[in-house]
Amino acid sequence: MIIVTGASRGLGKAITERLTERGEHVIGLVRSTDGLEIEGIECDVSDYSSVKKAARIVKKMGEPVEAFINAAGVASMNLAVTTDESTVQKLIQTNLVGTIYCCQLFAPIMLRQKHGSFINFSTIAVALALKGESVYAASKAGVEAFSRTFAREMADFNVRVNCIAPGPIRTDLLRGITDAQIEKITSQQIIQKQFEKSDVCDLVELLMDRRASSLSGQTLNIGGV
Amino acid sequence: MKIEIAKELVIQTIESALEGKSEVKEEMQLIGGVALLDSMKLVEVCLALEDLADDHGFEFDWTSEAAMSKTRSMFRSVASLAEEFSKQSES
């Protein structure tokens, strides 16, 4: 079984579709299962008790969890000085705290089975220190730091933890970003082009693969920095 | 579950995690400087207690505030873990 948060849209949806196509049993953790085309559990990742409830449901299913993909996230592109308090709270609570809740509450399932892979999501904005993404980047830098340390804590149990840090991928999160702004970002990558959702899906498959068993605590920046 | 039974189960579980290398006593500390178990062994004990709780028809929650609190942590000692295990069996 593979669990994907934020499976109803954006990268989460693309990853879910890719994994379903290859015959995996995918469960989506989503705020609402209305219209969801795969098996889903309603869960608000920013709410501890909601994540705990979802973990309990999954544990009762009794099926091994091969991978847990933390794709749920929110974005807001603003200068720090023009970001209001509620947006700051929402970014940190969903992107960072939500990832931590999912990892800590689903980890016991993987610890018990002594294998598994967590794939968390950062952003290339962390490595590039992109202007106008300070709070968003801070929330994702937290995810990277958490993932590195969490990877060490899980290693003795053969559970791997890695991060994917995409650049500007065409999803709802990029609403309102112009082509010129995207080009300005991609020009700072080693491979200076805009990557697609499918490239992210490829990396997810790579990190899940047992042949990637030597990789843990890493952040893979798409396009390179 | 009576506290005596819980203590017996918890001690057996810890002894098993320690592969019989140490005699386990109620007052022994589970976390902190002179802890009986390292953090990984503690996780193994918790997973084993989860299984035992399943066998006894209840759910053992070791990620709660009661587990993590510095002052009230169920991992203060073997006895406090047994008390919490017994308490959760009755809730």
Rounded Cα–Cα distance for residues A205 and A212 (Å)? 10
Burial class, A105, CB count within 10 angstroms (exposed 0-12 / middle 13-18 / buried 19+): buried
Looking at the complex, report in whole angstroms how far the Cα of residue B47 sits from the nearest Cα belonging to chain A.
7
* pLDDT at residue number A88: 97
In the predicted model, residues of chain A with pLDDT beneath 50 are none
* pLDDT at residue number A32: 96
* Adjacent-strand bridge partners of A215: none
Question: Which has the closest alpha carbon to B14: A164, A176, B31, A112?
Answer: B31
* pLDDT at residue number B67: 64
Rounded Cα–Cα distance for residues B20 and B15 (Å)? 5
The answer to whether B91 contacts chain A (CB < 8 Å) is no
Q: Give this complex's ipTM.
A: 0.78
> Is residue A208 within 8 Å of A66, Cβ to Cβ?
yes
Give the pLDDT means over successive 10-residue stretches in chain B (91 positions): 94 92 88 82 92 92 71 86 94 82
Question: Which has the closest alpha carbon to B65: B75, B57, B56?
Answer: B75
| Count of the separate structural domains present in chain B | 1
CB pairs under 8 A between A and B: 17
* pLDDT at residue number A47: 97
- The two structure tokens encoding residue A173: 């999160």
What separation, in Å, do the N-terminal and C-terminal C-alpha atoms of chain A show? 33
CB within 8 Å: B40 and A52:
no
**What tens digit of pLDDT does each residue of A51-79 get?**
999 999 999 999 999 999 999 999 998 99
B32-57 residues labelled b (16+ CB within 10 A) or e (exposed): eeeebbeeebbbbbbbbbbebbeeee
Best of B39, B42, B47, B58 to substitute, by most chain A Cβ atoms within 10 angstroms, is B47
pTM for the whole thing?
A: 0.91
- CATH code (residue B76): 1.10.1200.10
CATH 3.40.50.720 corresponds to the domain A2-221 = yes
- Give the domain range for residue B70: 3-90
* Adjacent-strand bridge partners of A133: A78
- The two structure tokens encoding residue A26: 């995918």
The answer to whether A156 contacts chain B (CB < 8 Å) is yes
CB within 8 Å: B40 and A157:
yes
